[in-house]
Chain A
Amino acid sequence: MKRAALLAAAGLLLLTGCYRVQKPPQAQTGAAVPVTRGDGKTLRVFIWSEYIDPELVKAFEKANGVRVVLDTFESNEAMLAKLQGGGAQYDIAVPSNYVVQTMVRAGLLQPLDKSQIPNLKNIAPGFLNADYDPANVYSVPYQYAATGLAYNRERYVPRDTWAEIFGPDDRRSFVLLDDPREVIGAALKFLGFSANTTRVGELRAARDLLRRVVAKKGFQGFDGGPGTRNKLLAKTVDLGQIYVGDLLIATEEDENVQVLLPRQGTTISMDTLVVLKRSPNPELAHRFIDFILDAENGAQLSNYTYYATPNAAARPYLDDFLKDIPALNPPAAWLTDGRLDFIGELPAGRPQRLYDRIWTELKSR
């Protein structure tokens, strides 16, 4: 309910085009009117919850003699709404890849000064220059989540294919992610299409498939990561579509819960680090980004969150446990052979409406 409310709020803010708070006053008056200038001593970061190791934050604070303030948000849309309102001054935000362009268009971001981020070289080339931000003008990769198929091997071990859910077999109980792009994307991948397709025929095929899937006896509804994770731990469901990181963290408690990437490929979502245009401490923000992109720090991040790192140099420092999990380290070839699709921004208009309509139909079935 509240989530819906926030999405509505985000929409509302986006609709109010007359909104110009993000424009710094200098641009309006030409004079050097003081915006709240940072003292270079406090870095404000807007980030998902449980998404950074507190020890890492402490290390950065100590090394630079500064204080880091972390505020959390629960969805990209809620974050966007708050930033567009202009009430809060953050230096860094951590949006998912598909909202980066939206933020650029809203004038919320400043171009990065790459000379201040030498560790950018650590990022695997496959994760740079992606469609959502060619040449990485505004964003650097933070961590990413592939969407996988989770199971409890004490109960049932699936094959590595989306057919476990989307095939004709109706014996298995399963949960789908409560996210239109993930669900429709998985159906598209199963059918051999791109998860970002705008072709009407392909979308119709996905719709017809999904209609059958949600009519299956085993369909246990749509759920976010934590709910699905709990169902797998409690063995009340055979299979679940889930972000790999959200499931892996549960192996701490029960190593029988596992996740795999279907061979047809899957969707991935990259969370990125961006510097906000109104950042009071842009220099410190850049230093923080460079700190995160350091090899050992990048590994420490993933060792804490269990999300995948785009940092190639960090791989050797990952915990052995994480190194051994294929779902967390998809073969490099998958990035180039079209099996991994970044969930991309949809062009407004007909494709967007088609996705919306399919989702509405599935949810109101």
Chain B
Amino acid sequence: MIRRTHPALSAWAWLVYAFLYLPIIVLVVFSFNDSRFGATWAGFTTKWYGVLFARADVREALVHTLEIALISTLVSTVLGTLVGLGLWRYTLRFRTALTGLLVLPIVVPDVVMGVSLLMFYSFVRQGLERAGWSFDNGFWTVLLAHVTFQISYVALTVRSRLAGYGPELEEAARDLGASGWESFRRIILPLAMPGVLAGALLAFTLSLDDFVVTYFTSGSGFSTLPVLIYTNVKRGVTPDINALSALLVLVTVVAIVAANALLRPRRGA
């Protein structure tokens, strides 16, 4: 069954991979460059990693990034899974419209999302201020913003995972005496699980990456790594930021390898 690929085709594939990964390799290499501006090679050094770990703002941003990513992934995975299951299981009157609404956060440009959330928060704040309350944008507003766009991704992956199955599965389970909860826990959820995990992973990486929405919804004194890195471009990204990016690449690779290992179908099951 194994067909040999045409050599030209595999050469092309290698070129594509090189195009995708060379910049990342260059970035990792230059995080060991003894030059502040990284234009020329000035010798090997690990000092930028030292500089990086000494920076309080980086540490703080890292903590914020992880907090937001973990919590928002958890919340959006639960909510998104419920939405996905609901769309799969029930015939709803406005199903198409509902699915459309779900796709909206994915297709809408980040910036529209960011600005509209910013306006929404301002609107809410004005109302609260009249009542004598007040709040600052920060952790909660960013968390909420991330959850809003993550839900769609989770719901859609869950729904498409279940798309091939009909309601008869659940009916069969009920016929065999399973309660509603049992059929959900032992039949539906395991079937949906790959979709749930894929959605959660997607949500997590999206949250780690997000700059635009985070920039607009975070208040003063609360920044995440993408915000910190992006606002550095004006005067040139410093090599310690290269070091940070190299570490992030490492973490991402480890996470992907781990996820693959977890998701691999077990033999003989």
Q: Which residues in A have some Cβ–Cβ distance to B below 8 Å? A: 2, 5-6, 8-9, 12-13, 16, 19-21, 25, 28-29, 33-36, 42, 44, 46, 48-51, 69-75, 78, 81-82, 85-90, 224-226, 229-231, 233-234, 246, 249-250, 252-253
Considering the chains assembled together, what is the distance between the CA atoms of A16 and B233 in angstroms?
Answer: 29
Do residues B232 and A233 form an inter-chain contact, with CB atoms below 8 A? no
Do residues B231 and A72 form an inter-chain contact, with CB atoms below 8 A? yes
Do residues B130 and A33 form an inter-chain contact, with CB atoms below 8 A? yes
Do residues A44 and B221 form an inter-chain contact, with CB atoms below 8 A? yes
* Cross-chain pairs A/B with CB under 8 angstroms, 13 sampled: A5-B109, A8-B111, A51-B235, A69-B221, A71-B223, A81-B216, A82-B118, A85-B118, A87-B118, A88-B218, A224-B233, A226-B235, A250-B37
Most buried by A among B109, B134, B141: B134
Q: Is B211 an interface residue (CB 8 A)?
A: yes
Chain A residues whose C-beta falls within 8 Å of the C-beta of B118 in the assembled complex: 82, 85, 87
Do residues B40 and A74 form an inter-chain contact, with CB atoms below 8 A? no
Chain B residues whose C-beta falls within 8 Å of the C-beta of A73 in the assembled complex: 231
Considering the chains assembled together, what is the distance between the CA atoms of A5 and B112 in angstroms?
Answer: 9
Chain B residues whose C-beta falls within 8 Å of the C-beta of A229 in the assembled complex: 37, 39, 236
Interface residues on B, range: 35 or more
Taken residue by residue from 211 to 244, chain B's Cβ proximity to chain A (1 for < 8 Å, 0 otherwise) reads as 1100111111101000010111111111000000
Do residues B39 and A233 form an inter-chain contact, with CB atoms below 8 A? yes
Considering the chains assembled together, what is the distance between the CA atoms of A178 and B54 in angstroms?
Answer: 33
Q: Is B119 an interface residue (CB 8 A)?
A: yes
Closest Cβ of chain B: how far from A73's Cβ, in Å? 6
Apart from A85-B118, A89-B136: 17 A-B pairs, beta carbons within 8 A:
A5-B110, A5-B111, A19-B119, A35-B134, A42-B221, A49-B231, A50-B232, A51-B235, A71-B223, A72-B228, A72-B232, A74-B232, A87-B217, A88-B137, A224-B233, A229-B236, A246-B235
Do residues A33 and B126 form an inter-chain contact, with CB atoms below 8 A? no
Q: Is B125 an interface residue (CB 8 A)?
A: yes
Chain A residues whose C-beta falls within 8 Å of the C-beta of B215 in the assembled complex: 6, 78, 82
Closest Cβ of chain A: how far from B47's Cβ, in Å? 14
Chain A residues whose C-beta falls within 8 Å of the C-beta of B232 in the assembled complex: 49-50, 72, 74
Chain B residues whose C-beta falls within 8 Å of the C-beta of A44 in the assembled complex: 220-221
Most buried by B among A9, A81, A246: A9
Q: Is B105 an interface residue (CB 8 A)?
A: no
Do residues B220 and A89 form an inter-chain contact, with CB atoms below 8 A? yes
> 10 shortest A-B CB distances, which residue pairs?
A226-B236, A87-B137, A230-B39, A85-B118, A72-B231, A233-B39, A69-B221, A5-B111, A88-B219, A21-B122
